[in-house]
Amino acid sequence: MKKRPVTSQQVAELAGVSQSAVSRCFSPKASIAPKTKAKVLAAAKQLGYRPNAIARSLITRSSRTIAVVMSQLDNPFYAQMLEYASRRFQQHGYHLLLFMSSDEQETTSVMSDILQSQADGILMLAATLSSSLAKECVARGIPVVMINRTVAFEGVSQVASDNYHGGYWVGCHLVESGCERIAFLAGLADSSTSSQRRQGFLDALAEHGAACWAEAIGDYDFATAQAATRALFSRDVYPDAVFAANDHMAIAVIDTLKAELGLQVPQDVAVVGFDNIPVAAWPSYQLTTVQQPIEAMVDEATALLLGQIASGQVTGERKVLPVTPIVRASAVSGT
């Protein structure tokens, strides 16, 4: 049977002090005589007392909880973010309440749960947020930070890596490597990350007097990217380079090229990805890619959320963090 937890009242009785004295012992900033504190702590230890965070939240109006919304944990990139974010917030005495939500409809119901949960802030990783929901959060004064997402609403903050310049670098790198028939494999159609990378890439090509040779859509999904690869390489003349909007798809491209089409990377086709997930460094792939500053992004998001929580102001800032090109064997200069 579930026992009733020990309360501060019981500790107070055992220690021969008032309940408020006990409370003060567990509040960092309250003033309490060392002697009474010792008595109280002794009694607390004896009874196995732990302050009830729920009761505390009710009165302080702060749950010390951040709601994080994710759509996919199978992408290691987001898994890494989540792990790091959790550790980061833990350091500041906050904990993450996890919500999975794939489609926008689900997000609506999830958002309702979040609002009820009294989370002090919301961290959106890879999920879409309708502007009406965003508006509701802002109206309630709950700070929202989105990572690598765009939403057409003022109140929410955004942290992103410099997708445009990442794409731009890829374009330059491939042209300068001598590639002439460069294809782009997009992620999700409505994803801002994919379209920003694409735009930078196209602009780079244009500045070099080149153009994108072919495009396909891979939905950030392995199987879809494989199908797209087959389509891109079904003609007699096929691309001599593929820029995939993320590493996961780039891996799919390489695998399909090698296993099904008998093509060599980078001898026959150069391949570049985006993210620099751990797999990209594996010997089988040696994927040239653009590294996103995961930790810096999370640090920024953490600072934004905690800052807004502390000040009680929701501001809606935008931060763009620099990316780092990583040249590996899948697309080297002078190929």
| Chain residues in the site for DNA (CB under 7 A) | 4-5, 7-9, 17-21, 23-24, 26-27, 30-33, 35-37, 49, 51-52, 55-56, 58-61
Interacting residues with its own copies between 259 and 298 (CB under 8 A) = 259-260, 278-279, 282-285
Q: If you count DSSP H runs as helices and E runs as strands, how many of each does the chain have, helices first?
A: 12, 12
Q: From residue 79, give the alpha-carbon distance in Å to each of 76, 83, 221, 252, 331.
A: 5, 6, 16, 19, 27
Q: Which does 21 bind (CB under 5 to 8 A by kind): its own copies, DNA, none?
A: DNA
| 313 touches its own copies by CB under 8 A | yes
Dist CA 39 CA 46 (whole Å): 11
Task: Determine, following the binding rule CB under 8 A, whether residue 65 of this chain makes contact with its own copies.
Answer: yes
- Using CB under 8 A as the binding criterion, the count of chain residues that bind its own copies stands at 63
> Whole-angstrom Cα distance, residue 89 to residue 265?
41
Nearest residue to 243 via CA among 159, 153, 172, 147: 172
Q: How far is the CB of 316 from DNA (least distance, A)?
A: 25
According to the binding rule CB under 8 A, does residue 8 interact with its own copies?
no
Binding its own copies (rule: CB under 8 A), the pick from 12, 14, 25, 97 is 97
Interatomic CA distance for residues 269 and 233, integer angstroms: 11
Residues near its own copies, by CB under 8 A: 1-5, 48, 50-55, 57-58, 61, 63, 65, 70, 72-74, 76, 79-80, 82-83, 86-87, 90, 95-100, 110, 112-113, 115-118, 136, 139-142, 222, 251, 254-256, 258-260, 278-279, 282-285, 312-313
